[in-house]
Every structure is written in structure tokens, then in C-alpha cells.
Chain A
């Protein structure tokens, strides 16, 4: 049996690849031009990731401003309007300009490599989608200086990320703040739908010979499912934005309650998008876990068919749970009962996934490199987030918890504790493939432990003010409510997380220049992307690879015990 440290056979690209890997050094202008006109899925993936990282820093700074403001009651660090802008922009940015782009970025980069394709199905659509999304981000942030005035008098949206009607209608939001929000989300939605179409076509039509649907890596299955969810969930948001713009610009009455329109209709439309959106974000995180946990446990994923079924099951159930965001809006007892049940059903497929990861680790030989550390953190936090999710699905309890800091803590547990942790794991795992250099393990460990401490200080404690009656989206609070100390702890935890983030960004930049050379397969992994050089050439594979199992590189490394014998 091969020793893990042995460099693997250079594999499927074989000796046929005689293309020179070095080119004459290009000027900066040429490099820039190359990145702007590129249709290479890897470069577009990196553009997505870079774009998302920039906005992650921006939205992180907004979060810090929010936390500073809440550190003491009656604080005057931000005034009411600025604070409302901060949390609106923080939420909108994190979901639409960080979460979706970064996950699409990894998808763009990894899906073709993993299924043995040379590019996405529609490379030019891919570039179009990215640039539309990038435009949406820049457009949204232009609102800080644009609109009715320049700096200081800008009109950033201050309507909360779910923008409930009729607050978004002309009489209550004159000016252009809502227009910036709606148009930016419209553009970003078009970009997302374009990428979703592209990923679906890629997974179904671009697989290399032998890569049947029962052999594609789970990550590819997950991206196909996510893309389907984007098609059926982001489109309603796009439609709702069009309606909102018709209201605001043409005098329509969709959500104009003064002319008989309905506030509830917007809530329905938004959450028909909003809840599947959570799964659009969290499923790729599951996908990363599906790739990373087996490699660092040295075992094949436990129950591949069940994992696929659970993924598709989550997607379908998630389309029928949206109104659990609306238990307090005045639904009938029957409606509340139905959505309680459908929401609880989500825990069955997610439970299957959790236990399958556990079973993958069971009996393995766990190596705690940084990607695995973050994956273990993800597992713990995902279990807790799922359990608080069950608490919130209990509609009578939800009447108390809804729109309180308990909810804020719950969804940050999902978005940070699960998704962001897996994104970090993915960075440590695939950065060597993308750049050819390893990220520093020492800095990675610092990053991980600071992140864990900061995360739990912030978001464990944040549940409690919710239980003590603190609603979300308030720019200040009364000192007599017993929330002060808790908020100070939360703010302190946020500072620790900010330090961890700074270490991470430093690690990304520093390792690019000074990291250890990675080689094609630093983690001794099994999927096709590790058979290419790091970074892979523009064409990925000089000849189409041919596979016979779910783990083609395992078959190569273990000819005496190939997976193909069992499938």
C-alpha cells in the first residue's frame, strides 16, 4: 500500500501533456486584460472568490460597526439611520455578494475539474454571469455615495434584508434607497440564474467517459441540486423585485396597502426565495464536507446513495417550509401546524447527512490538518444550529423567539458556524490546487482556534438576549432590560473573530508568495482535480480522463483494492 506522503503517479494526464507550462512574463496590462476577458472556468471561479472576499471584509466591517454600537445601551457611535443601513447592507452583502459568489466561485472552479471536463458548458454565459453579479455588488455600494447626494448624504438601503412591504413603498421610503436594493438584487439574481443554468448543463452534459451520475463526486451532485434550487427559488425573488419596481416607478399597487395591496404577499414571495436560499448556501458547505471529511478520515464517504437522496430530499422539502418565517404574521392554526411539520421534516435528511459524516469518521484514521479542524468545528456547530432550528420550528415557541436575537444567533450559527467554517476548510483544502502553494498550517491553526473561541463567545451568548426579549434590528436598547453585559460579551467575541479573519487574509496573501510548493496532490486525495498539476493548465486535462469508480485516484493508487471492484 502506498505511503500517504509518496507523490502519486502523475496520473491521468499521463506523458501526453507536452504543453510548456511556462510562458514569457506578461505585462500588468496584459494580465489585467486576460482576467477581464477570460472565459476559463478556473479564472472566473477565482474572480468570484476574490470578489466575494472583498465584500466579506466590507460586510465584516459593517458587522463590527453594529457590534460597537450595541456594546452599551443608548450608544451614539451610529445614529438610527446609519445603523439601519449597516444591518441592511451587512445582511444583503453577506447573502448576495459574499455567500452566493464564493460558493459559485468554488463550484465554477471545482465542478468541471471533478467531473473530468475542460470547462463549463457555456463559458461565455459564465463570464457574463460573473460580471453581472460584480456589477450588482458595485451598484449596491454606489448607493452610499450616489442617489440624492454625495458622501454623508447617500441613500444606502435601510429596510432590512427582507425589505418587508409596505415600508419599501414610495410613501414610506422616498428617495432611491429601495431602488438601489431592488435593482442590485435583480441583477445579482440574473447572474445567479445564469450560473445555475451553466452548472446544471455542465454536470449533466460535460462528464468524462465513465463518470456516470452515480459516480460523480458528491460535491457535483450538490452543486446540481443547488442550481436547481437557484432556478426555482431565486426566480421568485426576481419576479418580486420586478413587482416592487413596478410599484415604485409605474405606480402599481402590488404591495401598496393603501390601495388594497397586501403586505403578506411580499412576505410570502420573499420567503419562497428566502428559505431555499439558506439551503443554496448551506448545501455547498455540505459538499465541501463530503469531500474533505473522507480524505482526512482516510475512508470513502459512508452511504453515497443516501447522501445523494438526502441532498435532493433537503432541496425538495426546503421548497415547502418558507412560511416558518411567518408564524407570527397571523396564519391560521392549520397553516402554522403544516409549516411546523414540514420544517421539522428537514431534520430527517440533514440528520442522515450528519450521521453519515460521523460514520465516515468512525473507524478511520483522522488527520487533523487545518481543513479537517474546520470540518469538525462545522459538524459540532451544525448539530447545534439544527437543534435551535427545531426549537424555532415549534410555532408557539417561535411566537416568542421570532425576530429576537435568538433567531439572529440561530442563523449566524448556520451561516458562520456551518457555512463560513466549511468555506475556510475549502480554502485550506483547495488553495494548494488553485495557487500551487500550501497555506501556512501554523497560521491556519491560529486562525481556527481564534475563530472557534470568537465564534462561540459571540453566537452562543447571542441566544440569551433573545430569550430575554431583545428584538433584532434595533439600533439601541434600554439599560434596564438586562441585555448590556451579554451584548458586551458578544461584541468582545466579534473582535476576536475579526482578528482571526485578519490572520486568514494575511495567510492567503503571504502563502501565495512564500507558501510551501504543493505539488499536484498534497492531501493524498481521490478525486480527479488532484490528478492535474497545481494550478491546473487552462485546458485541465490534456486527454479526457476515463473513470471506473467514484474515487478514480484511489483506483490508481490502490490497484490491488480498487473501488471499481465494488461498484
Chain B
């Protein structure tokens, strides 16, 4: 009331706080990182402990194509973020669609890989420790890609309907943050599963 010093009135006008979308997504990423860490630890812990095959070296092929697709999608979503921030809606739609497509291709290569592992190499979750840890770790990541794709597709449909505007730029950036995280996780998973343990 009368005791509130006047200076605060001016403070109210300049009072800035971080965006809750970003903080919320950053918190979610912290939690997700903890989940992935546990699966990665389990993978490392059981690496090479199997007494019966198939072993990673015998059955895994390095998924170069899928990896390139997924990692480059991070670049295209960055272009899309940039485009929407500058109101360039046409290029936003194009970059966004390319991102979605690359993500979908990645998921396709994973599906193909699993199909081969199951039908040709007879490796399933219950075969051995490698099977258990491999399918859970890669599957956990693939689940995140799938969730990301659904979100990307939702935005894409809205964008094609012309409902996404520059004022949604921040929301798009929050979603892009998630997509970058999914890509970053793949770098870890890829290095561990296909380079270190193979």
C-alpha cells in the first residue's frame, strides 16, 4: 500500500523471467538423461559378460545411413527454427518436413535392423544379456524418436494448414530442443553400441 516504495512500480515494467516452456523442457531433458544414463550403465555393466551368442561383433552392422539422417535432421530443424523466427513460413514448412522425413527414415532403418536381427540372427530380448540390453537401450531411444516424430508431424499438419505463425516461434523452439536432445542421445548410444562394444 502506501508503504510500497515507488521504485517498484518501475521494476514491474522491467521484470523479466525465463520462458517456462524452455525451463520445463530443460527439466524434462534432465529427467530423460537420468533414465538414459541408467540404461547406458546397464549396457556397459553387461558388456561382454555373455557366455552364449550371438555377440555384438557377430550381428551388428554400423547404421551409417540412419545415423547421418538423424544427425543431419538436427541441422534442418535448426534452419526451421531460424525460418519461423524471421517469419519465413514457406521455408519453415520445407525444413520442418525434411526434418520429419529424416527422422522417419532413421526409424525405418532401425526397424529394418531389428527385423534382420530377429529373423536372421535369432537375437531377441530373451536370448542373452546382449539381447536384453541392446533392445532396451536402442528401443528406448527409438521410442523417443517415435514420440518426437508424432510431435513433429502434428506441427507439420498445423503448418500446412497455415495455423503456425511467427508468434509460435518459441513453442517450436521448445520442441526443437527435445529433438536436439534425441539426436544427442543417439550420439552416445551409437558410440557405445556400435563403436565401443562391437
Contacts and interface: CB of A to CB of B under 8 A. Distances in A.
A/B: CB atoms within 8 Å of each other: yes
Interface of A: 9, 11-12, 14, 121-122, 193, 196-198, 200-202, 204-207, 209-210, 227-228, 231-236, 238-240, 242-243, 246-247, 250-254, 259-262, 265, 269, 272, 544, 546-548, 555-556, 559, 562, 564
Interface in B10-33: 11-12, 15, 17-20, 23-24, 27-28, 30-32
Contacts of B166: none
Nearest to B38: A239
Contacts of A269: 38, 42
B24 A250 contact: no
B1 A11 contact: yes
Given A546-B4, A564-B5, A197 B24 contact: yes
A253 B46 CA distance: 10
B97 interface: no
B142 to A, nearest CB: 14
B60 to A, nearest CB: 18
B47 to A, nearest CB: 12
Given A122-B20, A204-B18, A546-B12, A260 B129 contact: yes
A201 B3 contact: no
Given A227-B27, A269-B38, 19 more contacts: A9-B1, A121-B23, A197-B24, A200-B23, A200-B24, A201-B20, A204-B23, A206-B20, A207-B17, A210-B11, A210-B12, A232-B31, A236-B35, A246-B132, A251-B126, A252-B126, A253-B126, A269-B42, A546-B9
B8 A548 contact: yes
B42 A265 contact: yes
B35 A239 contact: yes
A193 B9 CA distance: 37
B197 interface: no
Given A209-B15, A238-B35, A546-B8, A228 B20 contact: no
Contacts of B12: 209-210, 544, 546
Interface residues of B, number: 41
Contact of A261 (B5, B11, B38, B129): B129
7 contacts: A122-B20, A193-B28, A236-B35, A251-B124, A261-B129, A265-B45, A546-B8
A400 B177 CA distance: 50
B23 A252 contact: no
Interface in B122-142: 124-126, 128-129, 131-133, 136, 140
